[in-house]
A = this chain, B = another copy of it.
Amino acid sequence: MNFTFANDRPIYLQLVEQLELYIISGQFSPGDRLPSVRDLAAQAQVNPNTMQKALQELEDKRLIITERTNGKFVTDDAKFITKQRTKLATTKIQKFLTEMQELGLSHADIISHLETLKRKD
């Protein structure tokens, strides 16, 4: 697990995004127990309060669940995670297309651009 931060946005929001990705992309599996807040904070080299705030956001988003004295767990609702993944992807794709249109690139332009990049893989 690897955390890096830009300096122009709240750290806790960047934590949320990165942790969300770890869950959504399957690096944490449904039902997995998370490391303690303190450990996560140490790994990310942030203040435990900051990590706590990030985890709270994830809980609000139903991606993690706190069991009172037992710790925090990734939700075991795999379908929900998949749904969130699709939702996030769709949002990003839509946003991307809007931005490309604003720059004057059509769908066709973009696809041809992607095809070109694909060949280089």
Contacts and interface: CB of A to CB of B under 8 A. Distances in A.
A103 interface: yes
Interface in A77-121: 85, 88-89, 92-93, 96-97, 99-100, 102-105, 107-108, 110-111, 113-115, 117-118, 121
Contact of A21 (B11, B102, B107): B102
Contact of A89 (B11, B93, B100): B100
23 contacts: A7-B65, A10-B68, A11-B68, A21-B102, A21-B103, A24-B103, A25-B104, A26-B104, A85-B103, A89-B103, A92-B99, A92-B100, A93-B113, A93-B114, A96-B96, A97-B114, A97-B117, A107-B118, A107-B121, A108-B118, A110-B114, A111-B114, A114-B114
Contacts of A11: 68
Nearest to A7: B68
Interface in A14-59: 21, 24-26
